[in-house]
């Protein structure tokens, strides 16, 4: 079988493929990539096509501001092969192509995340020199059975007497307040497991990443005029919300603030009509994992993160 590598974008997808309902890539997904990208995003997307134009493999390599905490020189890659076309060298062709692109654009490391249940994919990566560097897993909370009234006593904790909870949406959304918010976000985010060595993203990158997101779900814990903790929850769809960060300044930990913030975030999502809340946590982040279990989150299959120096 003869395959050809073709560059893909939302504008050329139709002309390069006669299978618009490809199982692994479509025009809408390509448009989503382009919407997420900014001027300094370095992105390469290719398809593997059969002689008759059927796309049977898709590969992508991206760096720059695509991920605000992506290390310099690191390219996030993804490779997908149609299940009917595996074991024909398509994945290797895609890996070679995105790695070549990364090298040509100053890349020193390619990285990706794989479900811990995808044993064949994990073995495939390890055979090609990738090393496992981090483990996280998803937890889900079914809001149809969640009753916040069961947790009223949490807010009666005397340690929270001086703490106020307020949405960032209640503040002016100008550059001064956005700078304060992103500075605080970074102060908390850099302290999370897996953030070692990360550099602070540019504010314009962060503004682009958070554009269009309802900031009512950015819940702050405040003492006096000081922000001391935060929980961010973002709507992925009308029924699913994602808790992307919950962080507390070190001097305020152990007072029940993180639990109270998570409750505030969950309640916000439920009021918005959500049926499910998702979150991801590092497997070694014991304090947050304990809070999640207390709230009724159920553990889902984990994700292993791999990288390879190129």
Do both 219 and 98 map to the same domain?
Answer: no
Q: Give yes or no: residues 20 and 79 share one domain.
A: yes
Check residues 91 and 137 and name the one with the higher pLDDT. Answer: 91
Given 64, 85, 107, which residue is the final one in a domain? 107
- In a domain, residue 168? The reply is yes
Query: Please, are residues 208 and 260 in contact by the beta-carbon 8 Å criterion?
Result: no
User: Residue 198: inside a domain, yes or no?
Assistant: yes
pLDDT value, residue 20: 43
Please check whether residue 290 lies inside any domain of the structure: yes
Stretch among 32-46, 108-122, 128-142 having the lowest mean pLDDT: 32-46
Which residue range(s) make up the domain with 282?
138-302
28 and 174 within one domain:
no
Q: Which of 107, 122, 150 is the last residue of a domain?
A: 107
Domain count, the chain: 2
pLDDT digits (tens, 9 = 90+) for 21-55: 467 888 888 988 988 888 889 999 999 988 888 88
Question: Same domain for 285 and 164?
Answer: yes
CATH of the domain at 287: 3.40.630.30
Same structural domain for residues 214 and 257?
yes
- Rounded CA-CA distance 260/241 in Å is 18
**Whole-structure pTM value:** 0.75
Residue 124 is assigned to a structural domain of this protein? no
Same domain, residue pair 268 and 157: yes
Asked if 154 and 269 sit in the same domain, the reply is yes
Q: Which pLDDT value is given to residue 194?
A: 72
The answer to the question of residue 123 being in a domain is: no
Domain presence at residue 26: yes
The answer to whether residues 181 and 279 belong to one domain is yes
Percent of the chain at pLDDT exceeding 70: 97
User: Are 42 and 143 in a shared domain?
Assistant: no
Q: Please check whether residues 92 and 182 belong to one and the same domain.
A: no
Residue at 125 is within a domain:
no
126 within domain boundaries: no
pLDDT exceeds 80 at position 18: no
**Are residues 69 and 193 located together in one domain of the fold?**
no
For the segment 47-76, what is each residue's pLDDT rounded down to a tens digit? 998 888 888 999 999 998 777 678 889 999
- Return the higher-pLDDT residue of 300 and 228: 228
**168 and 289 assigned to the same domain:** yes
């Amino acid at each position: 079988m003869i395959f050809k590598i073709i560059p893909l974008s939302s504008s050329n997808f139709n002309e390069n493929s006669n299978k618009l309902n490809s199982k692994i890539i479509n025009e809408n997904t390509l448009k989503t990539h382009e919407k997420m990208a900014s001027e300094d995003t370095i992105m390469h997307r290719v398809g593997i096509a059969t002689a008759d134009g059927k796309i049977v493999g898709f590969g992508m390599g991206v760096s720059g501001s695509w991920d605000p905490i992506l290390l310099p020189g690191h390219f996030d890659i993804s490779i997908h092969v149609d299940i009917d076309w595996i074991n024909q060298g398509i994945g290797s062709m895609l890996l070679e192509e995105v790695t070549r692109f990364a090298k040509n654009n100053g890349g020193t490391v390619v990285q990706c995340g794989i479900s811990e249940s995808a044993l064949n994919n994990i073995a495939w990566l390890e055979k090609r020199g990738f090393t496992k560097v981090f483990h996280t897993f998803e937890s889900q909370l079914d809001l149809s059975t969640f009753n916040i009234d069961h947790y009223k006593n949490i807010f009666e904790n005397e340690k929270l007497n001086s703490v106020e909870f307020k949405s960032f949406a209640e503040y002016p959304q100008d550059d001064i307040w956005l700078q304060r918010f992103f500075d605080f976000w970074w102060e908390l985010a850099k302290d999370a497991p897996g953030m070692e060595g990360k550099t602070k993203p540019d504010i314009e990158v962060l503004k682009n990443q958070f554009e269009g997101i309802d900031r009512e779900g950015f819940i702050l814990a405040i003492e006096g005029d000081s922000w001391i903790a935060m929980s961010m929850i973002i709507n992925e769809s009308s029924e699913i919300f994602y808790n992307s960060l919950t962080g507390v300044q070190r001097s305020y930990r152990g007072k029940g603030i993180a639990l109270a913030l998570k409750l505030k975030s969950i309640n916000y999502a439920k009021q918005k009509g959500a049926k499910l809340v998702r979150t991801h946590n590092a497997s070694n982040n014991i304090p947050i994992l304990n809070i999640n279990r207390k709230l009724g989150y159920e553990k889902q299959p984990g994700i292993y993160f791999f990288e390879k120096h190129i």
